[in-house]
Amino acid sequence: MQRKTVRVRGVLPAIAMLTALAAGLTACTDGGGSGTKIDAKAGANAGTGAQPGKYRSLPMPCKAADAKKVKAMLPAPDALAPEAREALYAGVADASYDADRRVGCRWTAQTPTETRLLSVGFERVVSYDRATTSDDDKARQVYGRQLTAANLPAPAPSASPTPSGSGAPTPGAPTPSTGASTGPGAGGSPSPAPELGSRVLDGLGNEAFLDDKLAAAGASAAQARTVRIVFRTSNVIVTVEYSVQPALPGTIPPSGETQDRARQLAQALVERFNE
């Protein structure tokens, strides 16, 4: 009996079509099916945005301040017990709900003649619109608002140095208040030291200012002086506030000494961030 050969039409074309589809799917991936071409494109777009700030965290505030300078700013009574002295200089940390964004520390020292208060605060500024504004740019804006609130003008663009002997103050230099004198007063006694006003500071972080306020005189209340220094280093803004409150009316804390001690502590903090 003669066998008939049966041909199944359409089988070979179907196999060819499946092979072509498989080859097309393989070409769309990196061989592992992860789609790295799409990821690489997204990464390229992300790289065109503003860069994050230099600092991603903040120091422990009570340990960040130079211990020797803190002790010089806050003299303790000689009769203070060792445990109380240790607690005084350890400071008290401010409550913080995000230690990577805002922290601070405070110290208080009392003697029979005066009360001194010291605080340091750190704020790490983060931009939430990284596509257009970097962390540093956002920190400049925050610092600028504080400068304006202190009624201080923004620093002018760098100009040529003041000629020698012109009598004009250099930027950031202490400026005596109007009418102050360091010469002999009535009866040959020396006049009070000149008052140094609030001003923009040079050489302290990226930008800085000093705000000096003297409380109004009263019949029974002594005048307290509070010096506040604010400086920016990259995307972190640091505030140092130092207050001296004499116990007796008529005693005025000198601006030069108070400002100098606050500035020394601020400079030590700048150096800590640069380490």
* pLDDT tens-place string over residues 103-143: 999 999 999 999 999 999 999 999 988 788 999 999 999 99
Distance CA 56, CA 20 (A): 51
Please state the rounded mean pLDDT for residues 82-106: 94
Q: Can you give the C-alpha Rg of the chain in angstroms?
A: 33
CB 212 within 8 A of CB 259: yes
- Residues 6 or more apart from 122 whose CB is under 8 A from it? 58, 59, 61, 64, 102, 103, 104, 236, 237, 238
CA 164, 169, 171, 173 torsion-angle sign: positive
> Mean pLDDT score of the chain, rounded to an integer?
77
pLDDT band, very low/low/confident/very high, at 157 (cuts 50, 70, 90): low
Q: Which residues pair with 242 in a beta bridge?
A: 118, 227
Q: Is the per-residue pLDDT at 171 higher than 80?
A: no
Give the residue among 237, 231, 215 at the shortest CA–CA distance from 263.
231
pLDDT band, very low/low/confident/very high, at 158 (cuts 50, 70, 90): low
CB 217 within 8 A of CB 206: no
Distance CA 41, CA 150 (A): 47
Q: What is the pLDDT of residue 249?
A: 85
- Alpha helix segments (H runs only) across 110-152: 135-149
Please state the rounded mean pLDDT for residues 183-200: 65
pLDDT band, very low/low/confident/very high, at 190 (cuts 50, 70, 90): low
Q: What is the pLDDT of residue 53?
A: 86
Give the residue among 214, 274, 229, 224 at the shortest CA–CA distance from 249.
224
Please state the rounded mean pLDDT for residues 80-101: 94
Q: What is the pLDDT of residue 114?
A: 93
pLDDT band, very low/low/confident/very high, at 145 (cuts 50, 70, 90): very high
Please state the rounded mean pLDDT for residues 1-14: 48
**Locate tokens 């690489």: which residue?**
40
Give the residue among 246, 245, 209, 202 at the shortest CA–CA distance from 226.
245
CB 172 within 8 A of CB 203: yes
Please state the rounded mean pLDDT for residues 90-112: 94
Q: Is the per-residue pLDDT at 172 higher than 70?
A: no
Q: Which amino acid is at 81?
A: A
Q: Which amino acid is at 153?
A: P
28-39 residue pLDDT tens: 444 444 333 323
* CA triple 242-245-246, angle to 5 deg: 140
Domain residue extents for the chain: 48-155+196-244+268-275
**Locate tokens 């990577």: which residue?**
100
In this structure, of 5-19, 149-163, 222-236, the range with the lowest mean pLDDT score is: 5-19
